[in-house]
Amino acid sequence: MCGIVGYVGHRDCADVLMNGLSKLEYRGYDSAGIAVFENGEITVAKTKGRLADLENKMKEIGKPHGHAGIGHTRWATHGEPSDVNSHPHSGERVTIVHNGIIENYKKLKEFLIGQGRVFKSATDTEVVAQMLDYYYDGNPVEAIVKTMHELEGSFALGIVFQDFTDTIFAIRKESPLIVGVGENESFIASDVPAILKYTRNYYLLEPNEIAVLSPYCTKIYDLHYKKIDKELKTADWDMESAEKGGYEHYMLKEIHEQPTAIKTTITPRIVNGLPSLEECGITLDEMKNFNQIFVVACGTAMHAGIVGKYVIEKLAKVPVIVDIASEFRYRDPIVTKDDLVIIISQSGETADSLAAMRLAKSLGAKTLAIVNVKGSSIAREADMLIYTHAGPEIAVASTKAYMVQIAVMYLFAFKLAYAKGMIDKEECKRLTELLQQTPNLIETILEDKTYEQYVAASLVTADSLLYIGRGLDYALSMEGSLKLKEISYIHSESYAAGELKHGTISLISEGTPVIAVATQSKLIEKTVSNIKEVKARGAKVTMVCRESFGDDSDIADYCIKVPDIDDILMPMLAVVPLQLVAYYASVLRGNDVDKPRNLAKSVTVE
Ligand code: F6R
């Protein structure tokens, strides 16, 4: 969590840092700050709140001018969001920004206090600043190496030393960090979009690598001060795709990007009408012989895994266990070398998912990562890898990443079912062809969004609501519910429709909104019975169903119809109105849609 940037070069440093931070605010926005060398002195400007608050503050106190510095946008872990806990943090001659958590900070703090050092903040980060200062004896790299040996936890650090006014230093362990290389200028950043305005060339810093950046040269060392030659990468994301492109919010833009994202993700993986996943390094023999499959992920990515479970079990008849990563890693899961563990993650940096993957590997299982961010930690460490090609997802609430995650789960399920002889070639081709039709069908859903706005308006004053469904509709209702609650702040729960009468139906009273996902034709009668049960108790029901459903007038209060496709693929279409209802509910409540409170896009702490 948190976003860090650094710059050294010919431009006005504060401007570059602020621009970079604006692309990283999705990582946290509890506070913001920059430190810039101004007339040879490190000048810090920082404040609780967002970048806009920092802009305002700098209008009052003056913006520091200079050509080298570091910046930070925070998602608070140690110490409440406040001015004093905002980054950068300083020792006497060192100032740093930090993304991650120092697990042994208490012990280190006690030691440093014993050395007579005085702390201002409640953060773990200040301990690192003081520790660097403690070890600093005129040689910055030596101080960094000595400090590294003391630190436990995950971190990426941007560092400036008072004596080196045209140099910035960086190091990472676990938390992501890239080093951007421009013409007579260098950058550090937690993520690529932060540097795209200036350069597309960057190095991926590996754990325990130290970067030393000056305007004319970038050097990377290991902990033994040995220079490392690294491959310079070129970002294939352009600025345009990282910006809002005329939409009011990133979330709406990203909802609209879903048809393209699906095409970009599946097209290269379909050969002669059949799914082809050879690129990920999984052989047909291996595929056939897995005993069981685990899908491990967090939040929305985990919901994509639940859709995958239904589809894989139905078509390929292989048992699938879906786990929340933070549970998986501590519940002593019974995983063996005959199992496949699939990790799904947009960012590829989610701490719990990464740890779960490492655990699965240590138990001998094969791991397959389905990841959006190239070169991310999960992508690099998995045995096998399938990239989703959603492009940068900026809105905290995931939409297009979820869409392509399920698209990949479909390809995988079709391939596995065919490899195991559970479906024949013709059926595999038919399903693959249907999957290819989904982008156009989603375009038609997106042509007219007025009904979703209308439904959103009907529930904005609700305190709480329920999402219900059966089978794949239940899997989808979980995602609908999460989307709504995270951005509208209306409490909602998803429930298996058939389970309501075992307790939860007592929550229904006059006017309680219920969103019933009812797209599965084999279960439709049962779901309609459940809708009638809640309606009889006063619920105001919105039903999401197929266009072919027919007359809905005596069943639901509102009905959102989506185009028809095979039952198994309905989640690809039905999720879109659920995303839109959540989006409009958030807009109508005046919330910050792209940056909902208390959340961050990339959760790199457990
Ligand atoms: C919700 C959302 C989160 C993420 C979760 C995992 O809209 O985006 O629930 O899905 O934090 O993140 P990744 O996919 O980056 O591992």
For position 213, what pLDDT does the model report? 97
Distance CA 217, CA 214 (A): 5
Q: What is the 3-state secondary structure (H, E, C) of 403-470?
A: HHHHHHHHHHHHHHHHHCCCCCHHHHHHHHHHHHHHHHHHHHHHHCCHHHHHHHHHHCCCCEEEEEEC
Place of tokens 């007219």: 448
Cis? peptide before 207, omega within 30° of 0 = no
Distance CA 69, CA 12 (A): 10
For residue 373, how far is its CA from the centre of ligand 1 (angstroms)?
A: 13
Query: What tens digit of pLDDT does each residue of 505-542 get?
Result: 999 999 999 999 999 999 999 999 999 999 999 999 99
Burial (CB < 10 A; 0-12, 13-18, 19+), residue 463, is: exposed
Query: What tens digit of pLDDT does each residue of 172-195 get?
Result: 998 889 999 999 999 999 988 899
State the amino acid at position 97 in one-letter form. V
**301 CB under 6 A from ligand 1?**
yes
Please state at what angle helix 105-114 crosses helix 125-135, rounded to 10 degrees: 50
Average pLDDT over residues 148-159: 94
Query: What tens digit of pLDDT does each residue of 464-508 get?
Result: 999 999 999 999 999 999 999 999 999 999 999 999 999 999 999
Task: Catalogue all structural domains in the chain, each as residue range(s) with its CATH number.
Answer: 3-242 (3.60.20.10), 250-446 (3.40.50.10490), 450-585 (3.40.50.10490)
By alpha-carbon position, which residue is closest to atom 7 of ligand 1? 397
Q: Are 22 and 51 in contact (CB under 8 A)?
A: yes
CA angle 537, 539, 540 (to 5 degrees): 150
Place of tokens 């810039």: 36
Helix (H) or strand (E) holding 249, with range, is: none
Distance CA 267, CA 439 (A): 11
Query: Which atom of ligand 1 approaches the CA of 405 most closely?
Result: 14
Q: In angstroms, what CA-CA distances link 452 with 300, 424, 491?
A: 21, 39, 19
Query: Which atom of ligand 1 approaches the CA of 346 most closely?
Result: 14
User: Is 2 annotated as catalytic?
Assistant: yes
Using most ligand atoms within 8 A of CB, pick from 296, 300, 347 the residue to mutate for ligand 1. 300
Nearest to 563 by CA among 466, 474, 475, 448: 448
* Contacts of 123 by beta carbon, 8 Å cutoff, 6+ apart: 78, 79, 85, 87, 89
- Cα torsion 474, 434, 580, 370 to 10°: value is 70
Distance CA 342, CA 403 (A): 17
For position 601, what pLDDT does the model report? 80
User: Mean pLDDT score of the chain, rounded to an integer?
Assistant: 94
State the amino acid at position 7 in one-letter form. Y
Structure token pair of residue 188 = 């550090």
